[in-house]
A and B are shown apart, each in its own frame.
Chain A
Amino acid sequence: MRQMRRRTRTRGWQSTFSGPTGLALIAPFLAVAAVFIVYPFVELLRTAFGEPNGFGNVGDFLKSPAARRTLWTTCFTSLIVTVIVVGLGAVLAWSLRTTRSRLTRMVIAMAVFVPLWMGAVMKIYAFTVLLERFGVVNRTLTSIGLIDEPVQLLRTQFAVVAGMTYQMLPYAVLPMYAVYVTIDLNLIQAAESMGASRVRALRDVVTPLALPGLLASTVIVYVICIGYYLTPVLLGGATAPFTASLIADDIFNLFQPQQAAVSSVLLLIVAGIVILGGLRLVGRERMRRALG
């Protein structure tokens, strides 16, 4: 359809440029990308796989139990957060799409937007106030008699997962909502008129249509999660850092930039695998559509 339209507009303004003009127009971007993306990336690879052992640097790096555990913590915690966030995000986005109540829409929209606009430090501090030993959660649980004395919530994996889930929720809700908007709600009525229950209609009609979006948000959320730094440091404490903390520690405390580079490359590889896996699963075309 788009091609037909293009063919009819041969005169006057054109939405496409000739090769050289296009190249000239894109040149500033290419220059910026070369300086700020390609060059640092090449430098990063050179540092990571350079002195002293080339590719053996990765093996040396992984000999450290702390490095292995940190990588595992990063990947596993991010996975938990991603599952929760995408599950919750799907429900919230669907409610946002289908509700008839203006109030419900406003409440959900605000719940999604407000954390997005708040500073990360503020959000994390709010969680500290909630989760500390004599914080809101512990005091509430003690006063209603569920626990006898305060339990450790701060500086646990629970705290990290809770904090990250809260911060990541918008990143799942927004793309999911964008996908749900493209689904014709009459399809559900059609399915129900053919005898399907609401659940069945959601499962057999809505879910397959939303699947590319679901996978796209999974990929987005996971890739952002593995780069988290502040939340694991402040809510998780010094004993369960993410790889990003290790990178900072290597650069700023131990001054071994080469180790930091190896960590960074490993994170990049994980992100790359997740993105490629996502593309393969849904197919490039559907993924592109899901991302708008």
Chain B
Amino acid sequence: MSSQRTHARRGMRGRPGTLTALMVGALVATFASACGGSDSGSGSGSGGDPKSLVIAGWGGSFTAANKEAFYDQFEKETGIKVTIATPGGGFAAKVAAQRAGNNIEWDLLEAPGGDTSKLVLDGNLEKFPASLVQAVTPLVADGALRPSPAEPYYLDHGGTVNLIGCNTKLVKKCPTNPREFFDVKSFPGTRGITANNPIFTSLFGLAGDGVQPQQYFPADVDRAMNSLKRIKPNVSVWATTPAQMQQAIVDGEVAIMQAPNTVLISAMKSVPELKLYWEGGLLFDEGWCVPKGAKNKEAAFKFIQWYAEKRELQAKFTTKLGAGTAGRDMQKYLSPEVLKNLPINKTGVTLVDGMAGAKQQQELGKRLREILVG
């Protein structure tokens, strides 16, 4: 190396040594940071610290609203530090992977549709203790403890609906239901479909092909995939994260988007021309649950009870996002305007059988990937 340097000094341009050193340093620093900073999505467990709670959610406006309405307040009142992780979807498989690796990183999930059922089915949730059930039963709506009060594994908080949003600034004629969404000739316009959960996407494909809600399960996989395959050339965005869905709508990349109501309502702030069509909407329950072997499960159960007690905070959350709530007698806390727009009170919306979906989730996931990528 020393001979190289003298050699170079004799060349046209002197002093390359400093620059070389700087470059090598930069390269080393990059490699170091690339190795260290690759996993941004997961929160770190803290080995059972009673004053700590790691909550995994699916991010975007939903988690932001949860933080504002509940997490910050909970932290202030109990002194339990809340850490938020946003894996963005696939909760059931991620918890299964964590259990296989014997390292449960999360204590509480705000798990969206389908995942809750899959988690129950796989035996990957902690059962609610009897004391918790007793405490929350008078506070929450009938049937909010799921799958049943005898087997309480998660607290449903109303769920979200995947429905159609249409930007009237970009298209003249909006599809009002899944069939019209899939009719690209009569309803031209760039489309976006949510693809972060194969059950949502497949059922939407079935609905677009004219299947009636009572025939959704067991899902006709071929029919669903063929329907999605036909519409694929007209779909410019298959969104896998809420942030992506929102970006596609706000930037006008898609004119017609199938997405959760929480995302669409949040996007309406930037795109007031966005109109929502609830017919054929797919409602999934959604709930607070605790992964089996969670390091801070006591804190997690404490949070669930605290949440059930705070109906005025639930009302604040629901008013902001239009998402559901677990509370009993919520008409006392919510304005008629908000009540009217709750997913549960909309006509044409179907509550999806999460258990049936969970049983076919893996098959649908594999086939959907073939359609998207193949």
Q: Which A positions have Cβ atoms within 8 angstroms of B?
A: 64-66, 69-70, 96-100, 105, 109, 112-113, 116-117, 119-121, 128, 132-135, 152, 154-155, 170-171, 174, 177-178, 181-186, 233, 237-241, 246, 249, 251-257, 292
Q: How far is the CB of B348 from chain A (nearest CB, A)?
A: 28
Query: Which among A112, A182, A240 is the interface contact of B7 at CB below 8 angstroms?
Result: A182
B121 at the interface (CB under 8 A from A): no
Q: Is there an interface contact between B37 and A128, defined as CB atoms closer than 8 Å?
A: no
Query: Which among A97, A132, A239, A249 is the interface contact of B247 at CB below 8 angstroms?
Result: A132
* Contacting residues, chain B, for A249 (C-beta < 8 A): 369
CA distance A249 to B127 in the complex (A): 28
CA distance A184 to B16 in the complex (A): 12
- For chain B, residues 61 to 99, give those with C-beta under 8 angstroms from any C-beta of chain A: 87, 89-90, 92-94, 96-97
* Contacting residues, chain A, for B87 (C-beta < 8 A): 252
Q: How far is the CB of A88 from chain B (nearest CB, A)?
A: 16
Q: Is there an interface contact between A254 and B12, defined as CB atoms closer than 8 Å?
A: no
Closest to B367 in A: A66
Summarize B's interface: helix, strand, loop or mixed: helix
B135 at the interface (CB under 8 A from A): no
Q: How far is the CB of A77 from chain B (nearest CB, A)?
A: 14
* Contacting residues, chain B, for A240 (C-beta < 8 A): 373
Query: Which among B4, B27, B253 is the interface contact of A170 at CB below 8 angstroms?
Result: B27
B214 at the interface (CB under 8 A from A): no
| Interface-lining segment among B46-54, B234-242, B338-346 | B234-242
* Contacting residues, chain B, for A152 (C-beta < 8 A): 236
**Contact A186 B96, CB 8 Å, known A65-B374, A132-B247:** no
B24 at the interface (CB under 8 A from A): yes
Q: Is there an interface contact between A132 and B20, defined as CB atoms closer than 8 Å?
A: no
Query: Which among B1, B93, B96, B237 is the interface contact of A292 at CB below 8 angstroms?
Result: B1
* Contacting residues, chain A, for B23 (C-beta < 8 A): 112-113, 174, 177-178
* Contacting residues, chain A, for B30 (C-beta < 8 A): 116-117, 170
Q: How far is the CB of B363 from chain A (nearest CB, A)?
A: 10
Q: How large is the interface on B (under 10, 10 to 19, 20 to 34, 35 or more residues)?
A: 35 or more
Q: Which B positions have Cβ atoms within 8 angstroms of A?
A: 1, 4, 7-8, 10-13, 16, 19-20, 22-24, 26-27, 29-30, 34, 37, 40, 87, 89-90, 92-94, 96-97, 100, 195, 232, 236-240, 247, 251-253, 362, 365-366, 369-370, 372-374
Q: Is there an interface contact between A117 and B26, defined as CB atoms closer than 8 Å?
A: yes
* Contacting residues, chain B, for A255 (C-beta < 8 A): 92-93, 96-97, 362
* Contacting residues, chain B, for A113 (C-beta < 8 A): 22-23, 26
* Contacting residues, chain B, for A117 (C-beta < 8 A): 26, 29-30
CA distance A237 to B240 in the complex (A): 9
Central interface residue in B12, B29, B372, by most chain A CB within 10 Å: B12
A-B CB contacts (within 8 Å), total count: 128
Query: Which among A154, A181, A253 is the interface contact of B253 at CB below 8 angstroms?
Result: A154
Closest to B365 in A: A254
CA distance A146 to B141 in the complex (A): 59
Closest to A255 in B: B93
Q: Is there an interface contact between A66 and B253, defined as CB atoms closer than 8 Å?
A: no
* Contacting residues, chain B, for A174 (C-beta < 8 A): 23-24, 26-27
CA distance A185 to B11 in the complex (A): 5
Q: Is there an interface contact between B24 and A238, defined as CB atoms closer than 8 Å?
A: no
Q: How far is the CB of B190 from chain A (nearest CB, A)?
A: 9
Q: How far is the CB of A64 from chain B (nearest CB, A)?
A: 7
Q: How far is the CB of B338 from chain A (nearest CB, A)?
A: 32
CA distance A119 to B38 in the complex (A): 10
Closest to A132 in B: B251
Q: How far is the CB of B92 from chain A (nearest CB, A)?
A: 8
**Contact A128 B97, CB 8 Å, known A182-B4, A238-B240, A238-B372:** no
* Contacting residues, chain B, for A100 (C-beta < 8 A): 12-13
**Contact A254 B362, CB 8 Å, known A109-B19, A178-B20, A241-B373:** yes
Given A65-B373, A182-B8, A238-B195, 7 more pairs with CB closer than 8 A: A66-B373, A116-B30, A117-B26, A184-B7, A184-B8, A238-B373, A256-B362
* Contacting residues, chain A, for B239 (C-beta < 8 A): 238
Q: Is there an interface contact between A251 and B26, defined as CB atoms closer than 8 Å?
A: no
Closest A-B pairs by Cβ, 10 of them: A65-B374, A66-B373, A238-B238, A185-B12, A185-B11, A255-B93, A253-B90, A66-B374, A133-B253, A174-B23
**Contact A65 B372, CB 8 Å, known A132-B251, A155-B237, A237-B238:** no
* Contacting residues, chain A, for B92 (C-beta < 8 A): 255
* Contacting residues, chain B, for A177 (C-beta < 8 A): 19-20, 23
Q: How far is the CB of B96 from chain A (nearest CB, A)?
A: 5
* Contacting residues, chain A, for B13 (C-beta < 8 A): 97-100, 185
Q: How far is the CB of A117 from chain B (nearest CB, A)?
A: 7
Central interface residue in A66, A109, A134, A181, by most chain B CB within 10 Å: A181
Q: Is there an interface contact between A181 and B237, defined as CB atoms closer than 8 Å?
A: no
Q: How far is the CB of A120 from chain B (nearest CB, A)?
A: 8
Q: How far is the CB of A189 from chain B (nearest CB, A)?
A: 8
* Contacting residues, chain A, for B20 (C-beta < 8 A): 177-178, 181
* Contacting residues, chain A, for B238 (C-beta < 8 A): 237-239
Q: How far is the CB of A110 from chain B (nearest CB, A)?
A: 11
CA distance A282 to B365 in the complex (A): 45
* Contacting residues, chain A, for B369 (C-beta < 8 A): 66, 246, 249, 254
- Show 28 A/B contacts (Cβ-Cβ < 8 Å), sorted by A: A64-B370, A64-B374, A65-B373, A66-B370, A66-B372, A70-B373, A96-B19, A99-B13, A100-B12, A105-B19, A117-B30, A154-B253, A170-B26, A170-B30, A174-B23, A174-B24, A178-B24, A182-B4, A184-B11, A186-B10, A238-B240, A238-B373, A239-B372, A241-B373, A246-B373, A251-B93, A255-B92, A255-B362
